[in-house]
Chains A and B, each alone.
Chain A
Amino acid sequence: MEAMIECDGLTKRFGNFTAVDHLNLSVERGSIFGFLGPNGSGKSTVIRMLCGILAPSEGTARIGGRDVVRESEAVKEMIGYMSQQFSLYDELTVNENLLFSGKLYSLRDKPLKQRRDQLIALTHLGPYLNRRAGLLSGGWRQRLAMACALMHQPTVLFLDEPTAGIDPVARRELWDLLFEFSGRGMTLFVTTHYMDEAERCSHVGYIHMSKLIVSGQPDELKRLPEVTPPNTRRLDVTCDHVTRALQAMREVAGVRSATVFGQSMHLLVDDSITPREIEAKLRTVGIQAPEIHDIGPSLEDVFVALTARYTNNHTGARAA
């Protein structure tokens, strides 16, 4: 597969603070790359460098084979960018915002109107054409921001937390659109906080404390030996009084971690522990008939495990 986005030792320092530390990354054409990490971990800084609006302190990045610093003009033609705040001109109507975005990329006359009509059809913005952008609700603002970012038919689209603060229906519809774009060969680079969104991506990367800890396909990552250490397995336990059950399970030797997931809990246990032992322990706190079955790790499990390992390695290194 052809790499659409490539980062090689990409680094950004602000004074003494390193916001992005030697990031190496490759994103294939047509993939949906989910970029995850806590607030302040450097996600937006990476996007800004890739979009050519922030100069890297070190390292290089290429989009479609073009260097984002030296060939920024060519890169700008290729990319679309939808920022966190859905940056729109509130004084302009929906229609005017779309026309403006097209004009910025030198679209005019007939092609401009045609492209606008296509995007209106795609995003169902039709009824709001003459409404000021400032009067739209969150979900519609997001659609308009995306339509604006797509006016010039970019081959790579960057979305910085596109679903922050919008309702679940709009969120679902946005993802449907993203899959459609990806199917047509567009490369998508999406940052998000939502694990369920991460699960939908064809590739994910996780950044923590300015360093990319892991990247790859979700299934690959879940099979990483670091995520599920040798001689352990993951169990899902569904029972009454989950919180009381959680307390009890944490007292059992051989239970490495226990987390509540709604009506059930997820355990990481040594192979030596049998479902029978768990049932017995739960009975001592008055919980009867739990349902226990094996599960694979979720992406959250992957990130939790790898972050913990990274933190341990680093504090260990510092102590030594």
Chain B
Amino acid sequence: MRRPFRGLGAILFKEFIVVWRDPMTLFFMFFPPLIEMIAFGYALDNDVRHMAMVVFNEDRTVESRQLLDRFVNTETFRIVQEVGSAKELGTEIRAGRAYVGLQIPPHFTRDLRAGRPARVQLLIDGSNSTVALQALNTAVALALTQSTEMLLKESGRTVIPVEVRPQMLYNPAMRSPNFFVPGVIGVVLQIGTTFATAMAVVRERERGTLEQLLVSPLSRWGLMLGKLIPYLCIGMLMALLLFAIMHFEFFVPIAGSIVAMIFSTLVYVFALLSLGLLVATKAVNQMQALQISMAFILPSVFFSGFIFPRETMPAIFYWIGAVLPTTYFIWLMRAIILRGATFFEYLPSLGILLGMAVLLFVVCALRFRKKIG
């Protein structure tokens, strides 16, 4: 009788001891992802605050000072310096000492009182688009608000004609960590797992122990699963740690089911580890195994919707994203953690992720058999 998982117990026995006694692999599984989680969590912050602004105020009146106060009160800007010429304004921005330069012309107050358009010049450093966009939006909104207030006063109306009342769902405070951290978990889990199984198999091939295993009646499913399970345990431990950091350090609330969150993670890590096994069937040595594993990370960062929305990408990148497990994992995390999606709402994505995991595992087991011949 053939037993499909023959030898699994033996491989698990060995693999758990080897993993435990190999501090380097454990270190590389845990340390870089943790560092990256902390770094990404803090650094990926779109809430631009207190950006440096230089001012060239030629007007020097109460009105011009009130305008400056309005800029500062948005908390988007902080005045770092007042300069004496338009030229200096440009120099400060070019030197990187300020993102924004505001020039108030001498006739500002006169125009304002006379009912003529009172123009101020705003220079924005466009070399950083996120910052530039926020500066632009804030400044335009600020001017519009002030204009509306003045018009209301003149016309005698007490309310504005059209008013939009936005309500931000799922992330009411518009906090960047809520948006980014679930995605960061997807990316750092990939950094910490795929290479581990790839290296584990390639190391055996390099040392000749793989040949020894192949001579035994061990089944390929037993071997593959035996290689995968120990790293699945470590990967899940890692994931739980990341979720804890997400919740307790970055204060991201978990709106949906924790069980669903953990189950999705299990499927995701399984898929990543299977990908590692697949890498091992291609890689000649450990160095290559590491490099190929790392090559999968960049697409996962860019095309998974982690930072940039996939919908606005050119079709080719959109479809690259469609075959990455990370895409579905990040989608699932945002759905479950932030939106509190229910079972049938996240089922399609979970189904695709599950399908990918099974497919990757089956393909690597089949390919593995071929490599022997």
Q: Which of A87, A89, A96, A106 contacts B211 (CB 8 A)?
A: A87
- Residues on the A chain within 8 Å of B9, using CB: 103
Q: Are A54 and B373 in contact (CB under 8 A)?
A: yes
Residue A76, interface by CB 8 Å: yes
Q: Are B14 and A85 in contact (CB under 8 A)?
A: no
Chain A nearest CB from B153 CB (Å) reads 80
- Residues on the A chain within 8 Å of B260, using CB: none
Residue A23, interface by CB 8 Å: no
Q: Are B215 and A79 in contact (CB under 8 A)?
A: yes
Contacts known (A52-B215, A73-B2); A103 close to B208, Cβ less than 8 A: no
> Which of A52, A84, A106, A148 neighbours the largest number of chain B CB atoms within 10 Å of its CB?
A106
Taken together as a complex, chains A and B put the C-alpha atoms of A53 and B214 apart, in Å, by: 6
- What are the interface flags for A119-131 relative to B under an 8 Å C-beta threshold, 1 for contact and 0 otherwise? 0000000000000
Taken together as a complex, chains A and B put the C-alpha atoms of A90 and B10 apart, in Å, by: 16
> Which of A54, A84, A85, A104 neighbours the largest number of chain B CB atoms within 10 Å of its CB?
A104
- Residues on the A chain within 8 Å of B10, using CB: 100, 103-104
Interface size on B, residues (CB 8 A): 24
Name B9-26 residues within 8 Å CB distance of A: 9-10, 13-14, 17-18, 21-22
Chain A nearest CB from B86 CB (Å) reads 70
Q: Are B215 and A105 in contact (CB under 8 A)?
A: no
Q: Are B212 and A81 in contact (CB under 8 A)?
A: yes
- What are the interface flags for B207-238 relative to A under an 8 Å C-beta threshold, 1 for contact and 0 otherwise? 11101111111100000000000000000000
Chain A nearest CB from B367 CB (Å) reads 15
Taken together as a complex, chains A and B put the C-alpha atoms of A76 and B373 apart, in Å, by: 16
Taken together as a complex, chains A and B put the C-alpha atoms of A204 and B10 apart, in Å, by: 36
Residue A83, interface by CB 8 Å: yes
- Residues on the A chain within 8 Å of B310, using CB: none
- What are the interface flags for B186-218 relative to A under an 8 Å C-beta threshold, 1 for contact and 0 otherwise? 000000000000000000000111011111111
Name A25-81 residues within 8 Å CB distance of B: 48, 51-55, 73, 76-77, 79, 81
- Residues on the A chain within 8 Å of B316, using CB: none
Q: Which of A81, A84, A85, A90 contacts B215 (CB 8 A)?
A: A81
Name A114-159 residues within 8 Å CB distance of B: 148
Q: Are A53 and B372 in contact (CB under 8 A)?
A: yes
Q: Are A87 and B373 in contact (CB under 8 A)?
A: no
Q: Are A77 and B209 in contact (CB under 8 A)?
A: no
Q: Are B7 and A104 in contact (CB under 8 A)?
A: yes
- Residues on the B chain within 8 Å of A103, using CB: 7, 9-10, 13
- Residues on the B chain within 8 Å of A77, using CB: 217
Name A81-118 residues within 8 Å CB distance of B: 81, 83-85, 87-92, 96, 99-100, 103-106
Nearest residue (CB) in A for B214 is A53
Q: Are B17 and A104 in contact (CB under 8 A)?
A: no
Q: Are A91 and B18 in contact (CB under 8 A)?
A: yes
Taken together as a complex, chains A and B put the C-alpha atoms of A85 and B213 apart, in Å, by: 14
Q: Are B14 and A53 in contact (CB under 8 A)?
A: no
Q: Are A105 and B216 in contact (CB under 8 A)?
A: yes
Name A257-279 residues within 8 Å CB distance of B: none
Q: Are A91 and B17 in contact (CB under 8 A)?
A: yes
Taken together as a complex, chains A and B put the C-alpha atoms of A104 and B6 apart, in Å, by: 8
Q: Which of A52, A79, A88 contacts B209 (CB 8 A)?
A: A88
- Residues on the A chain within 8 Å of B6, using CB: 106
Chain A nearest CB from B308 CB (Å) reads 43
Taken together as a complex, chains A and B put the C-alpha atoms of A160 and B215 apart, in Å, by: 13
Contacts known (A54-B372, A54-B373, A85-B207); A76 close to B215, Cβ less than 8 A: yes
- Excluding A89-B209, A104-B217, A104-B218, 17 further A-B contacts by CB distance (< 8 Å) are A48-B211, A51-B215, A52-B215, A53-B215, A73-B217, A81-B212, A84-B208, A85-B207, A87-B208, A87-B211, A89-B18, A90-B207, A91-B21, A92-B14, A92-B18, A100-B13, A103-B9
B: residues with CB less than 8 A from A are: 2, 6-7, 9-10, 13-14, 17-18, 21-22, 207-209, 211-218, 372-373
Q: List 14 A-B contacts (CB under 8 A).
A: A53-B211, A53-B215, A55-B372, A87-B211, A87-B212, A89-B209, A90-B207, A96-B17, A100-B13, A103-B10, A104-B7, A104-B213, A104-B217, A106-B6
